[in-house]
Amino acid sequence: MSEQRNVEDEAAGLRWIGVHSYEKPQSGAPGMRGSISLTAARGVEAEEFLIRLGADREQLRCQDLYKERDELTISSGVDGHVSRAMYGTCGDWVYVLEDQGWATWFMGYRSVAAMQPLIGEEIVCLTLNHHDAPSLILHAPRDGNVREAEFRGDADWSPELDAALRAAGAVFPSLYDGVSTEEEVELYYEEHADEIPARVFAGVGRYCSLSIDRATVERGMLPLALLPAPLI
């Protein structure tokens, strides 16, 4: 019974996204499973946040499902790469999922004024950065600033987020805890490297009280957002 409960919890939380982070996206699949990056925001309306990421208002209001993405024609006015993302809401949060190997918000928030967080908005981004490691945790904690750490690092600028990551086992013993030598820490990271993404996603899910149903994502049943690559 406990094993079944763990499977159900994983499917409904965020841990499952990290479990499959090393998998390549499935070509031709209706939805997503592998290589998913996550951007979540609160303190801003869903449509407004997506438009600031580059989405077209009319396209959003059509409420096309992600599974229908290959049937749509991209506007001739859009140049370059377009991320076919899916999005949804959970509690106070709007979330965006992309399986292109990185998150659009991460690529653009430094150079695109509309993507920069405003005071009162909170943004958490987990970008895998398969194109340019390492994977990163980014956090804008309502003060208009963005801080980042590698997946294997702590988030000491945000005690609540840091506590959630530690509780999920994403932050391993450090020299500052006075319990390990540098060599022991490195060996521990090497031994558990494959587990880090799952633990990071689990910790962020716990911090945000954010749950995204795996079956819905894999079936492509969330709405589609077309996000042009930021000009950087």
Q: Strands 93-98, 122-127: parallel, antiparallel or unpaired by DSSP?
A: unpaired
Residue 91 lies in a domain: yes
CA 41 to chain centre: 10
SS3 content of the chain, % helix, strand, coil (to 5): 35, 20, 45
Q: How far is Cα 179 from Cα 177, in angstroms, rounded to an integer?
A: 5
Q: Do the domain assignments include residue 193?
A: no
**Per-residue pLDDT, 41:** 98
Poorest-confidence range of 14-18, 187-191, 193-197? 187-191
- Domain containing residue 67: 2-151+211-225
pLDDT for the residue numbered 110? 96
The DSSP bridge pattern shows strands 136-141 and 147-150 to be antiparallel
User: Tokens representing 54?
Assistant: 């580059």
Please report whether residue 175 resides in a domain: no
Alpha-carbon distance of 123 to 42, in angstroms, equals 7
Name the token pair of 219: 């079936």
Read off the pLDDT of each residue in 201-230 and give the average, rounded to a whole number.
97
Residue 11, pLDDT above cutoff 70: no
**Total count of domains within the chain:** 1
Whole-model pTM: value is: 0.90
Q: How far apart, in Å, are the Cα atoms of 208 and each of 91, 140, 203, 221, 232?
A: 9, 13, 9, 22, 29
In a domain, 186, yes or no: no
Largest CA distance in the chain: 58
Between 176 and 149, residue with greater pLDDT: 149
Give yes or no for residue 138 having a pLDDT over 70.
yes
Any domain includes 10:
yes
Residue 202 belongs to a domain: no
Q: What is the pLDDT of residue 174?
A: 61
Residue 157 belongs to a domain: no
In a domain, residue 34? The reply is yes
Q: Is 68 a residue whose pLDDT tops 90?
A: yes
pLDDT of res. 190: 81
Residue 78 has pLDDT above 80, yes or no: no
Span 77-104, mean pLDDT?
91
